[in-house]
Chains A and B, each alone.
Chain A
């Protein structure tokens, strides 16, 4: 089965490991992710003003590109997913807006594309049992805290992927891979999102609470589906001049965890480039030289570029 795939900017730049592991995992499961032949930025934020049609142009263009490729488009990035799914919902219920944007873009988007998150494809098209059957290297004994963040789940009326208060989709995935999901109260709390650019201390405080809570609940790793969440949780745990504190919790994309469980080669897991090296968890090759630019703040991924 093949499905159109929209990587988005972050997965093509800062979060290449998410993109690479996602594609590899999909291929291994017989779900071919076919990258849209031409795509552009989704806009990165969903406009909250009711009459902000300009901000809807970018996502509508993406949706049009998806329409030319099929009925359904999958994303990995939770931010792209949120923007596209909400834009699609808005255009569907507001034909006047759709007409207006089509008039401006001179493209005929019909408002019918289904925007799916790859997690949804795994759950609904493949099924957790099938996935569990494909696991060649069960992650038995590994305690993983599923961290959902906000954009994957909210607002429920438009996203509707899972219960926004008590989500299970990442839990189910972790369980299917043979690992043990760790419930912790911060799994749906905000990581600070874009504040990491403007007021990093706020987002660092928030992410510290999340990581601390996960650790206190016995998590050995955190999985997420969002490149910005990943950065916000991973980066504050970076190695400083004094070295690592020693209680870091590695933060992984769910696709990386899947790649390990499905026995994919290391270059598909792409565990390099993390501020906290997750490789010791899986007794893969020992850590390579420190991550690029370790210690030095890097511009966050997932920005509005």
Chain B
């Protein structure tokens, strides 16, 4: 058994799982596709229902992950292959989940005595008879022995151990492009750090826009870099690691289908999704937390929030409820009113789903204390006219058509699984539903278990969920990994002890 875990994705969920496992003394490899960790939570302004500053509660975690002696952090990296598991050993029957419902409830063997099969029914967990053959070799690529995982490390073009994050390079870089972290609301250079609190605190050279990689037209950042951290010749590399368990925490992104969202003017700068608005509200965002319209940089006085954009719409989008939008829209409304007290907020909703501790009170606060207008009905159309964004909708409580000339429209787009999660699912043999969300073996009783032995699930890749839920789930998945490790360890001890009884009369027990 390989007592090392792989965590795929370093959002709040992956970080939590990695920290829980690492703090229990096991090694963790944390793989992240982006240049820095923290996921979407790092982009948020405040969190509901407490209105905590998201960066402030997240940064201690990202720093802890970055400095943890048991966590090996691989940013700009992707899992590209997990060689398929071998067929089950003869006589072993079907591959059984390592943690079937009952297995985990067994107390660990009390340090000796008879060797109990820890995994009921599992063929490969046969108690070896005294004097019997050798322990079976672990099947590669999954199951008991662990997984061989190939990870593609994209070049950062900046040496992590040399970069001091001084920022001299950005002063000389001539390339200006949209900053993905700020959802395009701000610019960055071709060499950049996504945000000031980024972990690892290392710059990255974007090869798609840099003029120094190909063709070699510019070398200004390398000249400016005193420690000599810029390396244009860095190449992608594949590393292969062996791990005993995998936590898949690949998270979500926002539904982007413009046509289906109906609000076909999503390309208009003053119509934005929830994450863009988070960046606009964020004190560390491109405007320093000042709410301004991207088109003309004026303060928007009338803001329309549209809930259920793409979600709960079997005809035109996705049938499921995206779950967090009612809460984050209420949060947006409150935060906007705090910044623009004389502004008007209109929220179009189907019904308010605020199921959670303190959630209903939070929405009530948005409606009553912060004086926002909630309109029960959907929006049919959004289009620009005379510098305003016209929103057509219906108030189903009065039966009237509603037209609002808004300065800014914020669309609460549905959560969908992040790009590439289907590929991960295929590699690991995880089932996905029709939308690409991971499907656990048993949604009620084993919500974090994929059904593939040793592969655990956590976070929004399982379905829309908020931060507390995702953190709880990540800790749950980590606990399952630890259970797996501890059980295997106990079994190893027991087997060694049994071997001992064969030759040395069991004195070691």
Q: With A185-B381, A185-B383, A185-B385 known to touch, is A165 a contact of B259 (CB < 8 Å)? A: yes
Give the number of chain A interface residues (Cβ < 8 Å).
Answer: 5
In Å, the complex CA distance between A156 and B315 comes to 9
Contact indicator A163/B390 (Cβ below 8 Å) = no
The smallest beta-carbon distance between A184 and chain B, in angstroms, is: 9
Instruction: With CB as the reference atom, state the residue of chain A lying closest to B384.
Output: A185
Residues of B within 8 A of A166 (CB): 259, 264
Residues of B within 8 A of A165 (CB): 259, 262, 264, 316
Q: Which of B259, B381, B385 contacts A163 (CB 8 A)?
A: B259
In Å, the complex CA distance between A185 and B262 comes to 12
Residues of A within 8 A of B262 (CB): 165
Residues of A within 8 A of B381 (CB): 185
1/0 per residue, CB under 8 A from B, across A161-174: the answer is: 00101100000000
Instruction: With CB as the reference atom, state the residue of chain A lying closest to B381.
Output: A185
Instruction: With CB as the reference atom, state the residue of chain B lying closest to A216.
Output: B385
Residues of A within 8 A of B383 (CB): 185
Residues of B within 8 A of A156 (CB): 315
In Å, the complex CA distance between A163 and B260 comes to 10
Residues of B within 8 A of A185 (CB): 381, 383, 385, 390
Instruction: With CB as the reference atom, state the residue of chain B lying closest to A188.
Output: B381
In Å, the complex CA distance between A226 and B315 comes to 25
Residues of A within 8 A of B316 (CB): 165
The smallest beta-carbon distance between B35 and chain A, in angstroms, is: 36
Instruction: With CB as the reference atom, state the residue of chain B lying closest to A189.
Output: B381
The smallest beta-carbon distance between B124 and chain A, in angstroms, is: 51
- Residues 383 to 422 of chain B near chain A (Cβ within 8 Å): 383, 385, 390
1/0 per residue, CB under 8 A from A, across B127-150: the answer is: 000000000000000000000000
In Å, the complex CA distance between A133 and B262 comes to 35
In Å, the complex CA distance between A231 and B385 comes to 27
- Residues 157 to 195 of chain A near chain B (Cβ within 8 Å): 163, 165-166, 185
In Å, the complex CA distance between A185 and B263 comes to 12
In Å, the complex CA distance between A163 and B383 comes to 18
Residues of A within 8 A of B385 (CB): 185
The smallest beta-carbon distance between A154 and chain B, in angstroms, is: 11
Residues of A within 8 A of B315 (CB): 156
Instruction: With CB as the reference atom, state the residue of chain B lying closest to A183.
Output: B383
In Å, the complex CA distance between A163 and B315 comes to 13
The smallest beta-carbon distance between B390 and chain A, in angstroms, is: 7
- Residues 138 to 165 of chain A near chain B (Cβ within 8 Å): 156, 163, 165
In Å, the complex CA distance between A19 and B264 comes to 35
6 contacts across the A-B interface (CB closer than 8 A): A163-B259, A165-B264, A165-B316, A185-B381, A185-B383, A185-B390
Give the B-binding residues of A (Cβ under 8 A): 156, 163, 165-166, 185
Give the A-binding residues of B (Cβ under 8 A): 259, 262, 264, 315-316, 381, 383, 385, 390
The 3 closest A-B pairs by CB, nearest first: A185-B383, A165-B262, A166-B259
9 other A-B residue contacts (CB within 8 Å) besides A163-B259, A165-B262, A165-B316: A156-B315, A165-B259, A165-B264, A166-B259, A166-B264, A185-B381, A185-B383, A185-B385, A185-B390
